[in-house]
Structure 1
Amino acid sequence: MLPLCLAVIPWGILCGSLAIQNGFTALETQAMSLLVFAGSAQLVAIELIAGNTPLLTILFTTFIISSRHFLYGLAVRHKVIDQPLSWRLPVSFVLTDELFAFSHHPKAYRTKIRLIYALSAGFSFYIAWNLWTFIGIVAGTMLPDLTHLGLDFAIAATFIALVIPGVKSLASLVTVIVAGISATLFKSTGFELWLVSSALLAMSAGYFTARITAKKERNL
């Protein structure tokens, strides 16, 4: 998890500084990272709030952006369903993109030791995110607009690093390609549900590819 904690330094600094430069107080900015803990949703929400966007629009937009976490929850549900709620709640809070990428081991979350391991990894990222946000708050009061430095590319770079190692089959390759193309096309047209739609389309393509591949293997 440590490399990923370091990889989001530009992302966290951008989030903290952007909030300060849009009129948020230092307390409000830090509280957002402490309570929301969702980088892309925070960045979008900051700009929407600064633009006096209606509350319902802000809630709907951040809901759509964060909807992928519902899929994460479904994916690990069978591993934690037998655990007490006192364990499942903190796991759900720290189940970020980064932790989910490390959740595919068959025995993940199965035992108390593995739960402690997962929570340690998840909360280490939580601490790092809030630390980088704090640095961004300080930088936001001392430095000019950091958005022109291209720090937002850290978002794309982090997800590329998470996705590429998981491409180990034709089905996963098709999923990634369809997701990338459809997300680009949907977003360029201004389609508000671009994230959910591209995810569903990519998963469907990957699912049918896996079924076709499995059928061909059975016929050999």
Structure 2
Amino acid sequence: MSFNRKQARLKIIQKGVLAMLPLNLAVLPWGILCGSLSIQRGFSVLEALLMPILVFAGAVQLVVIELINDNTPLATILFTALIISSRHFLYGLALRDKLKNLPFKWRGSLGFLLTDELFALSGDQKAYQGNLQLVYAISAGGSFYLCWLLWNIIGIVAGSYLPDLTSIGLDFAIAVTFIALVIPSITNVAMLVTVVVAGCLSVLFKLFNWELGLVIASLIAMYCGYITANKQAKTPIMKNNKDIP
């Protein structure tokens, strides 16, 4: 019986790693960019390694590296990192009911590994239900963490020999990764409205150079999606009421 359990665990670990593999490969240019940029901006090898090990957030890493290079005050750096990472608070709220009864070792591990990519794999209603599903999530998130660290290490080595990789458009990998995450999640009109509004407003606010434009665009888009979902939910009820004589 224990042998069968061990086999089941190994199989679910393999399944989690394979499920995350396309995203692990998709962020390869992004990780290399983060690692090389930190070296080219004057970070030591140890400092460059600590960024992916402790921060584990690509967008935050890129922005913080540039802010530190520009001698930006610590308070500004922390506030900027908080704003960029604020979506993870929403991820946590979305998964709260599934994780609240778990021991801290599971909640802490999943909380650290909860990236955009792992959240994208959490849409199934059965996600995190049962030990095997938890092992699946940990293995998927853990493989992404290890690959992200590996890509950063390659970037750290490359940063000493190659020119600034931002000049060859390698940062476009960031946009490609998020497009790959967002498109499959558009399964209803409310999601479509949210994505379209967020995309249009973020571009508009960028043209006006609004520092918090992305956050404002996200909040407005979520509100529009919420209104659309409510109207969709009420429409069948209104139709049924009209059929009653």
TM range (shorter): over 0.9
Task: Provide TM-score, normalisation by structure 1.
Answer: 0.97
Name the structure 2 match of 1:51: 70
Name the structure 1 match of 2:177: 158
Is 1:103–2:125 an aligned residue pair?
Answer: no
Name the structure 1 match of 2:231: 212
Question: Structure 1 residue 168: deviation in Å?
Answer: 1.0
- SS of alignment partner, residue 142 of structure 1: coil
Question: Structure 1 residue 191: deviation in Å?
Answer: 2.1
Name the structure 2 match of 1:38: 57
Structure 1: unaligned runs, 5 residues or longer = none
1:56-205 matched pairs, under 5 angstroms: 56-205=75-224
Deviation track 1:127-180 (CA, whole Å, cap 9, x = no partner) reads: 000000000001100111111110111000000000001111110000000111
Deviation track 1:71-91 (CA, whole Å, cap 9, x = no partner) reads: 000011111111111110000
Question: Structure 1 residue 108: deviation in Å?
Answer: 0.8
Q: 1-side partners of 2:211 and 2:119: how far apart?
A: 25
- What is the total number of aligned residue pairs between the two structures? 220
Is 1:15–2:34 an aligned residue pair?
Answer: yes
Q: 1-side partners of 2:38 and 2:71: how far apart?
A: 14
Q: 1-side partners of 2:206 and 2:147: how far apart?
A: 30
Question: Structure 1 residue 187: deviation in Å?
Answer: 2.8
CA-based RMSD of the aligned residues comes to 0.9
Q: 2-side partners of 1:2 and 1:184: how far apart?
A: 30
Q: 1-side partners of 2:234 and 2:113: how far apart?
A: 38
Question: Structure 1 residue 195: deviation in Å?
Answer: 2.7
Question: Residue type of the partner of 1:121?
Answer: A
Q: 2-side partners of 1:191 and 1:144: how far apart?
A: 30
- SS of alignment partner, residue 124 of structure 2: coil
Question: Structure 1 residue 112: deviation in Å?
Answer: 1.1
Q: 1-side partners of 2:79 and 2:158: how far apart?
A: 30
Deviation track 1:86-134 (CA, whole Å, cap 9, x = no partner) reads: 1100000000000000111111112111111101000100000000000
Which moved further from structure 2: 168-177 or 189-198? 189-198
The percentage of counterpart residues that share the same residue type is: 61
The higher radius of gyration belongs to 2
Question: Residue type of the partner of 1:200?
Answer: L
Q: 2-side partners of 1:108 and 1:198: how far apart?
A: 29
Question: Structure 1 residue 189: deviation in Å?
Answer: 2.1
